[in-house]
Structure formats: C-alpha cells, structure tokens
A and B are shown apart, each in its own frame.
Chain A
Amino acid sequence: MDFINNNILSLILFSPIVAGLIVLLLPGENKQLARRVALGLSLIPFILTVIAWVGFGAAPEVDGFRYQQQVEWYPAINSSYHVGVDGLSLSMVLLTTLLAPLAILASFSVEDKVKTYMFLFLALETGMLGVFLSLDLLIFFVFWEIGLVPMYFLIDQWGSASGERALWNGMKVPARRYASFKFMVYTMAGSLGLLLAIQVLGVVSGTFDMLALFQSWPSVTGTLFGFPTETVKAVAFWAFAIAFAIKVPVWPFHTWLPDAHTEAPTAGSMILAGVLLKLGAYGFLRLVIPLYPEQAHQYAGVLALLATLAIILGAFAAWGQRDFKRLVAYSSVNHMGFVVLGIAVAAFAAGTEDAAIALNGAILQMFNHGISAAAMFFLVGVIYERTHTRDLEEWGGLFPLVPVFGALLILSSMASLGLPGLGGFVSEFLVVRGAWPVFTVYTALSMIGLLFTGAYILKGISKTLHGPLNEHWKGHLTEINRRELLVMAPLVVLMLWLGLWPAWLLNVINQAVVAFFG
C-alpha cells in the first residue's frame, strides 16, 4: 500500500501505456481477448484515481499540490519529472480515467487492427494524463505533444470511411485524412509558439518547474533580450494563449473541431470532446492566469468576447447542421464557450467572489461537458453503426423502434442543454452568475446562445425520434444492446448525480479555486 500511496500519480500516469504495450504484445489475432484485456487494464488507472480521490484530503500538501513526486530528468537545463495534483487537475484526471474505459468499451465494435487501436488509445490516455499531472513545463509540453500522435492515427485510420472534402482547384481529399491532418497541423502550429515561450521562461528563470515559475515569473522586471519585459511577457502570453485557444477551441480557431469530431471513430470523438478539449482550458487555468496575471487581466475582455461569439455562433452553427455528429460537434464549441467565459472572468477579476464562482462554474462545466458530450457522441455512434448514416433527414420517428435508446438520447440531450436537475445547469449557472457583474453585456448576449442551444438540441431529438416513422428502418434498426447500455450507465448516473448533488465534486474543485486563485 505504501508503494501505491507514494507513487500513485506515476502509477496512474504510466499504467495506461503499460497496458497498451501488454495489449500490443498479446499473442495471436484474438480480437475479443485484446478488447477485454484493454478494458480490464484500463480500469487500473481509474481505480487508482478513486484511491487518490478518497485520500486526497489527507495527503500532505506542498504549495497547494498533493501527492507530489519529483525526480531528476534533465538536470542540465533544470527540468525535472515533477508531478502533483490539486482539485483542478484531480477532477480532470478523474474525468480522463473514467472516460477511457468507457471509450474502450464503446470501441468493442471496432474490427480493424484491434490491438494497434487499443494501444493507441491507451497511449493517448497517458498523454492526456501527463498534461494534467505535470508540474514541470517541459514535461507538460512533452505530454501535450504525445497526445496528438495517437489521435491523429485514430482519426486517419479508423475514422469514417466515406466523405470527401474539397480543397482548392477542385482537389479533393478523403474527409478523414483532411480532418486528421487539420487537427494535427493546427494544434502543432499553436504548439510552436508555446514551445518557444516555454523556452523563454526557462532561460530567464533558470527552471521549468511550475511551482518555482509561479513565484518568480510574474515578478520579473527590467529588460529581457534587449526588449522591455512587458513586451516579452505579452508575446509569451499570446503564444500560450493561442496554443490553448486552438485546443479549446475558442472562436475563430474552432473549425478543426467539427471536422475532427465528425470523422473520428465513435470512441475517438468521445475522448476528443470529453477530455482533449479540456486540455486547452486546463492550460489557461494552470498556466496562463498564474503566470501572466497582468496580461490576462489586460486581455480578458478579448477572451470574453471570443467566448461569447463561441457561445452564440456555436449554437447557430450547430442548429444549421444536417449531420447529427457535426451538430453534436458544434455543441462543444457552444458549451466550451461558457468555460472560456468563466476563465475570462477569473482572469479579469482575480481574487473576487465573482471570480471564485465563475471558476467553480468553469471547471465544473469542463467535467459536465466531458460527461454529456461523451454520451452524445456515443449515442450518435450507436445509431450510426446501425443505419450507416448521420443525416438527420434520413431518420425520423425512430422512437417506437428504439425506446430505450430514445430515452437515453433525450436524457443526454437535456444534460447537454443544461436542464436544471442535470449536470450542465449548475455549472452554466455559476459561470453566468460570476460573469454577470464583470462582463454584463457579454453575459446578456450569451443568452442568445443559450436560447439556440435549445433549438439545436430539439432539432436533434425531433429529427431522430419524433415525427412520422421512416418505414425504411422498420426491422432494420435494433435496440441499444447490453454492452452499449453498460457504456451509458455510468454517464447517466453522473449526469443525475452532478445535477442533484454536485457538492462532492465542487468541494474538491473549490479547494483548488480558493488555494490557487483566491
């Protein structure tokens, strides 16, 4: 037990990739075995996270972070393997380790190169966990990049087989190639600036350790490399901000998202929407605000404006879709807009009660969106696997054929809509509450987005389930099966639990908010 307790974060971090290697090295071509082993092993990081969660309050705390572990890694440039969690990162770790097994279970219908698929998936999990757990900028960056690679291949190799996208001069490429390339190159374009800015911080401060940088970097003054510090900081701020803004994505950097989400395999979309988008928001909260409090305050208005645009235009764009999966993809732009709005409030009014409420809301919204978006993408995947179409106009009146699926779709849609009593409401309410005194006009405008959230959610439900039955599907559409129900069950429980009694999660989040931003 001591061994587990002392190394718990490293165990959480590396157990998925070890699991992936085990799956890869399994003898023979038994697909079912590979799937089961992957699923079974992916439960290990989840169980470890639960253990960490339970012991969280009792674990010793240094500078606001618990379960810390630091080992020399690259002493020449003072970079070390340093991990630790606070309420913010722990809730994201929980989200990741919870969604990963569900995504793997959802992937049982993948028939192609199963072992490689599972390996990539588990490698992806380690990449994402690394971002949340790192307390060293260089390590953070390494994991940030590692997460990209498996996702690129998941979309490119296992994405939807049909569809084309026109580029220029009538040149056409397969949609999944287009989507995976766009995802990869766009994120990497953002990462370039991030890497350079990280170098600047490292060179100036002589360390990459976040805890040290939180103390020293904001107070650096004078000139750096012959420029005024303010200029250097502003440039570095934007380098960080743009990298994370692309990942969230903040409007107008969002167009990779509908492509990537739509073309990715079901489980890939679940993880993309559930966890990968959170990396960007996490970057803002973990790095941008603490490292650049002044710049963040200065440019918070821009961020709030973009967040409002994301909320409004994301909702309209979702409403305009015919492809159900694209509709759900755009809903992420809409919902993550609230996260960014909360972050903007925290950046602008750090230390106030409004900021504390908005931050609680934003982080809770990250978690809630992770749950509801994963559920939505999964359900779209369920019906896509059966009908081989995502076109809303080709369904209609399916409710009598698939009553259980229908009920789950309505429930998940409502959670996504932010219906009171289900998860999303509390977080949206808190963000709006925090934002109102700070960005009153933007908050009021964002209500347009909230209104049209209703429009696209109801469009999805009514075009799929309601209306006259499209007789074509009679006898061809089977009800959601037991494995799929097993994927949905934890998500449904969490939607209700977070809607009715969010305190269990907010307690942990609030600790981080108070300690880190209070």
Chain B
Amino acid sequence: MPTETLIWLIPVPPLLAFFLILLFTRRNNGLSHTIAVAAAAISWLLGMLVFLAAIGVEHLGEHPFESAVGWLPLGGSVFSIGVLIDPLSAVVLFFVAWTVLMIFIYSIGYHNFGQPKGEHDHPGLPPHGAVAHGHHVPSIEPMYARFFAFIALFAFGMFTLVVSDNLLTLFVGWEIMGLCSYLLIGFWYAKPSARAAAIKAFMTTRIGDVFMLLGIVALYSATGTLNFREILYNEHTLELLASTPTMVFGLSAAGLIGLLLFIGTVGKSAQFPLHVWLPDAMEGPTPVSAMIHAATMVSAGVYMVIRMFPLLSAGWHEGGALTTTMTAMAVIGAFTALFAATIAMTQKDIKRVLAYSTISQLGYMIAALGIGAYVAAAFHLVTHAFFKALLFLGSGSVIHGVEHGVLHTGEHIDPQDMFNMGGLKKKMPITFWTFLIGGLALSGFPLITAGFWSKDEILADAFAHGQMPVFIVLALAALLTAFYTMRQITLTFLGTPRTKAAEHASENVRTMTLPLVVLSVFAIGAGWVGIPDHFPGIGGLLPSWFHEFVGGTLLEHPHAPDFNIVPLLTSLVVALGGLGLGYLVYRNAGQTDPLRKPLGGLYTLLENKYYVDEFYERVFVKPAIAFADFISSVLDRQVIDGFLHRVARSAFSLGGVFRNKFDAPVINGFGDWTAGITKSFGRVLRKIQTGEVQQYLIFVALITFGGLFYYLLNILQ
C-alpha cells in the first residue's frame, strides 16, 4: 500500500472503535476494551510504518507525503482536505501513537477490569469497591465500556489533527478532542465538582477557540487556502502576509493572524490567563489526565503554533528583532512557566502538582517558540509528552495503590493527598522506579534523561539569541521544577508511611505497570536523538538527528546554537540544586508542609493559585450571568414585549372606540335594516355553522384548496 493510503487510515480505527462500542458492544466490557486497544494498536502500527517510511526519505521537508481530495465546492473553486506527513508531523505522530497505545492498555487495569461489580456503585460515580470472599476489593468501573469509547474518539481527534494537511481539519480534530475532554473530565458526571470542571474546561478552551476560528478565516481570506504547504512552505505568500498592514495594533496580516491562532493555543495548552481549566480537569480518571495533559490535547496547542511558526515569525530573521506576535509568545510562555511552577510547589494533590507542572512545561515550549527556537520547542514537546504521560500514569498507579490501602483499612482519607502517603517505594517498586525516571526527566537530571537535553536546548537557544529575561525566568522555573518534583517524590515514595492506608498500599496489575516501563524507556531514550554535536565529552557519539530532521520542516533550515558553557552550567545547577533542596526540605516532612510556616502569607497565596479563579468568577462569570438574566427577563420580556403589548393595547382601545362611536350607531343602524333579509339567508347557512373552529377551518381549507385543485387539473390536462 502506498504510504499516503496508510496515512489516511491512521485515524480510522479509533473512530470505528468508538461507534462499534457505543452501538453494539457497550454491554460487554471485555470485548469493548479489546476493540479499543486493537484500534489503538492498529493506528500505532500504521503510525510506525509511516514514521519509518518518513525517516527513510531524504529531505522529507521538501518532499513530504501528501494526498488531498476535494471537500467543499465553493463558488468557482473547491476547498480540499488531505493528509500530510512532513518531519514535524512524523515525530509528533511517533509520540502520539506510543503514548495513546500505552494509555489504552493502562486503562484496563486502572478501571479494575476483572474485578467484581460493586453493590453500591452507580454509573456516573467512581467505583466504591466490592466485597469478595470477605475482603474489600476494588470494583470495576460501572461505565467501563463507555470509557473506552470516549478515549477512542479522543484518539481519533488527535490522529486527525496530526495527519491533517490544513488548518480546517486540524481544527476539526482540535474540537473533537475538546468534546472528548468535556465528556471525560465529566466522566463521573454525578459529582458536582466533575460536572463543573467539565464545563469550565470546555468554556475556557472555547474562548481560545473562537479567536482561533477568526484566525483561520482571516488566513483563508488573505491567502485563499488553508493548506499548510501552500502557506508555510511558500516564501511568496509569507512575504505578502508579512507586508500587508492591518488596522489592529499596527500588526501585519501575518502578525494578526498569528496572534489570533496563538490565542487558540493559550486556551488549549492552558497558558496564562486561560490556564484555569487544566488543574480542575484532574476530576477525570487518571488515564484521561494523561491523555489530556501529556499525549494529546495540550500538546495539540503547542503543535499548532509550532506548525504555524513560519507564519508567526513571518518578517523575522534569525538574530533580528522579534515580531510582536513572537514577543507575545515569549512573554506569555515564560511568565506561565514560572507562574505555574510556583503554584505547583504548594499543591497537595499528587495530580494537581503534575497539572501545574504541565502548564509550566508548556510555557517553556511557547517561550522557546517565541524566541525562535523552533527545533528546541518541538524537541521538548516530544520528550515532555513521554515523561509527563509516564508521570501521570505513575500518579494514577500511586492513587490506585493507596485506594487499595484505603479499602483495606477503611480509613477516610483522600488517596490523592501526598501528605497521606510516604514510604511507597517498598510497596510499589515498579511504580517508584518509573516515577523516579519520569520525575528526573521532568527536572532535567543531567545527561541521562530526555528532559535534560530538551530543556537544555531551550535554555541554550535563549542564551544564544540574547534573550536574557527569558533565559533567567526559564532557569528559575527549572529550579522550581526540580524542587517540586523532588518534593513530590520524597513525600510520596520516601520516608515512612504517614497513614495506615499508605502502609497497606500495594503494587498494581501488569496492565498498569507495563505501560509505565515502556514510557520510562522513552523518558530516557527520547533525548538521545538530540544531543548537540558540540557537547563536551559525549557530543557527536550519537548524531544530532532530531535537529537535522525536524529543522527540515522549515523552508530555511534553522541554525543550532553554538555551544556555550553558561546555559549548560545553569542547567546543571538548577536541576541538581532543585532536586537537592527538595529532598532536604521534605525528607522528614510530617502531615503539614514544612514550607507553610516560613512562607506564611505567600504560601496561602500560592496554595490558592493567586486567587485567579475567584477573580474570574467575580469579574467575568457573575456579570455574564447577570447580563444573560437581564437580556431574557428584562430586555425581551419587558422592553420589547412591553412595546408590543402597548401597540396591541392601543389597537384594542382603538377598536373599542370604533365599535362604540361608529359601528354601533352608524353601521348597525344600517345593519338592522338589512338584517331581516340576511336572517332568512342565515337560516340556510346555519346548518353548516356549528361554531366549531376546526370545522370552519376545514371549510376554508376545502374551498381554498378546491380552487387550487381546479387549476391543478387544468395543468394536468
């Protein structure tokens, strides 16, 4: 089969799985998950075949795999959609296929397949556990099959997004994932908190989406196409866009469109100020968190801006001043990286720490792109997807293990609170070691982990481009990252158990641990494809393949930064320093955070996430609700309808005047005279006047249509 056909087929199996499960197999759990996992595996296989074919092509950037068909006939032209695999989409496809498959497999164990049904379990609530042979055991998720249907649709959305050759179908995939995140964050919909979180996620990302939609139509209006290659691999179009002025902020067309699209990413990739939905999205089951946060949805936002980079940076040349749009990205990205990292330091919930960490790491990528570090941003996107998926699944494994302990002991504690854990290293060794690998990768532990190489490249780029403020902010954020990661590892796995439940935690089934092991391989190995050639000691041992390959996506191959010792030393210091500090502060922590006292009010501020949610609630949500109320009950009902009623009332009184002053004396006088004649006529007619409205109506209709029929008959003759 030609590679193009394989590419078209990649998104299909999960979509089929979605419909199959929902329509036919939803009552059969085993069959449902088999279909879903098989679909993910087929997509994975297709993805790997395509990836291998792609890396085998020399200068793939110039000769990508492309195929398109006409979709919408519009006026004199046809809007086409199709698939495209160039270097960027090839690497994204690689990590998406792997992480998706791992998450699917993990979900089987996570949702307790093979366990009995819980007596008190209800659809829409997390399972409470069951009693079997006198023991408390976990019970299977009541909506087990439905979960697989939803994540299959989610996977379909992501694959569609990755293989799209145009912005419109990318947006289709983007929005389908938005729907799935809504459905999955609200998977346990009977919990009011989950319901609220789902709505919040959908609405917050939708703010970004409507801007993105404007960006798409503006681009389409300006260029007459949405095809990536025609716009982004076309010097002429880019120059034209960069030189067309607009009325907004003195931006060029490219700048304005880029900014609008970027706002879409701010929503989807949870950048400040639209970051608020992501931590709440932890209400969903853990595989969902992994899916949304690591592998797919938030990555999609970053993928889109990386994809559109030639447009965002149109008019910019390496070493030159940043465009307005790029500056906006650099500022928002760097700020978000630090901002979210500070919040992550104080969170108790093991998943929320990771959520803020995700926001922070995405900020890294955005900032990198903002300063023109194209390849570094893509590199960090790939490595982050692996190690963050690993961490999320690992945290799910931890929670699952502690929940087991909770069931066993009957304690009423929050199984997600890290201050209820401790000492899990011995109870859950596989989870511990894999989580440690993921954590070290996130912290950028030198040389061996993937996170080190990608983060180092971003810092090196920032330094080399002379973007000192960005460099300093990102370095600080890296320090905090290492610190809160070690805090998490120490609180969770090291020391002694703080509760009975933690004491009785146990390692999970193989369907859960196997994906952890696989992902931890990538959390280390994914970095080795991008070791800079000039790195002291080990540079050049492995070819710096990633830069060469992904850089080819652009018209002009970007330069790798020259080696400089300052960013490298910075990387080493912040990573090791943060890890060390984290261990020192938390190794003997009890049930309260040792930082709470020394930080005082600052700690409360961070713990409450700078009160952004409260601020939005008061400034945006409440006024909007009041406005909606005003529109429906005052404007429509009182103002507009009030006017109509007044008109009706005047007509009514006017009618009264006519009747009393004109009708009665004048007409009726005449009428009485004619009445005599009419009466006799009326006697005849009375027979058909029954006073029933329906009957009148039938007469009216009969006569009207009878007339029409007469003419119809004429026609037919």
Contact = CB atoms under 8 A, between A and B. Distances in A.
Contact of A436 (B203, B221, B632, B635): B221
A407 B77 CA distance: 37
Contacts of B701: 17, 119, 123, 149
Nearest to B77: A353
A469 B190 CA distance: 7
Interface in B168-221: 168, 171-172, 174-176, 179, 182-183, 186, 189-190, 192, 195, 198-199, 202-203, 206-207, 210-211, 213-214, 216-218, 220-221
B636 interface: yes
B628 A419 contact: no
Given A252-B640, A421-B172, 5 more contacts: A120-B697, A254-B636, A320-B628, A468-B190, A510-B74
Interface string B587-630: 00000000000000000000000000000000000001101111
A330 B637 CA distance: 13
Contacts of B179: 414, 419
Given A421-B176, A462-B195, A317 B190 contact: no
23 contacts: A14-B708, A119-B698, A119-B701, A123-B705, A153-B693, A167-B648, A320-B625, A356-B74, A357-B75, A360-B74, A397-B189, A399-B123, A399-B190, A400-B122, A419-B179, A447-B211, A451-B207, A465-B189, A466-B190, A506-B74, A510-B75, A514-B76, A518-B76
A321 B633 CA distance: 9
B704 interface: yes
B163 to A, nearest CB: 15
A503 B716 CA distance: 36
A482 to B, nearest CB: 15
A146 B75 contact: no
A510 B630 CA distance: 41
Interface in B71-112: 71-77
Given A149-B697, A450-B210, A466-B195, A17 B73 contact: no
A178 to B, nearest CB: 10
B557 interface: no
Interface string A330-369: 1000000000000000000000011011001000000000
Contacts of B198: 462, 466
Contacts of A17: 701, 705
A55 to B, nearest CB: 19
A419 B627 CA distance: 25
B559 interface: no
Contacts of B213: 429, 432, 447, 450
A293 to B, nearest CB: 18
B700 interface: yes
Contacts of B641: 255
A363 B199 CA distance: 31
Interface string B677-717: 00000000000000001100110111011001101101110
Which interface residue of B182, B702, B708 has the most chain A CB atoms within 10 A? B708
Contacts of B72: 360, 426, 430, 502-503, 506
**Pairs of residues from A and B, 8 with the lowest C-beta to C-beta distance, nearest first:** A356-B75, A320-B632, A320-B628, A420-B172, A466-B189, A447-B210, A433-B217, A400-B123
Nearest to B26: A403
A317 B628 contact: yes
Interface string B40-73: 0000000000000000000000000000001111
A397 B194 CA distance: 12
A437 B199 CA distance: 32
Interface string B215-250: 011101100000000000000000000000000000
A24 interface: yes
A174 interface: no
Nearest to A407: B22
Which interface residue of A7, A353, A501 has the most chain B CB atoms within 10 A? A353
B534 interface: no
Interface string A444-480: 1001001110110010001001111100000000000
Contacts of B693: 153, 157
Contacts of B70: 503
A113 interface: yes
A72 B714 CA distance: 9
A468 to B, nearest CB: 6
B218 A436 contact: yes
A58 B637 CA distance: 51
A436 B202 contact: no
Q: Is the interface of A mostly helix, strand, loop or mixed?
A: helix
Contacts of A466: 124, 186, 189-190, 195, 198
Contacts of B715: 7, 10, 69, 71, 81
Contacts of B640: 252, 255
Contacts of A205: none
Given A113-B694, A153-B697, A443 B74 contact: no
A467 B189 contact: yes
Contacts of A284: none
B413 interface: no
B631 interface: yes
A75 to B, nearest CB: 12
Contacts of A353: 74-77
Contacts of A429: 168, 213, 216-217
Contacts of B629: 320
Contacts of B186: 462, 466
B645 interface: yes
A444 B75 CA distance: 24
A514 B700 CA distance: 41
A149 B74 contact: no
A506 B176 contact: no
Interface string A123-157: 10010000000000000000000100100010001
B644 interface: yes
Nearest to A458: B199
A185 B179 CA distance: 42
B659 interface: no
Contacts of B76: 353, 356, 514, 518
Contacts of B631: 313, 316-317, 320
B510 interface: no
Contact of B203 (A167, A354, A458): A458
A99 interface: no
Nearest to A3: B716
A42 to B, nearest CB: 16
Nearest to A80: B711
B206 to A, nearest CB: 5
Interface string B450-494: 000000000000000000000000000000000000000000000
A10 B213 CA distance: 43
Contacts of B624: 316, 452, 455
Given A116-B694, A255-B636, A149 B195 contact: no
A21 B298 CA distance: 60
Nearest to B213: A432
A514 B714 contact: no
Interface in B300-358: none
Contacts of A227: none
A93 interface: no
Interface in B114-132: 122-124
B157 to A, nearest CB: 9
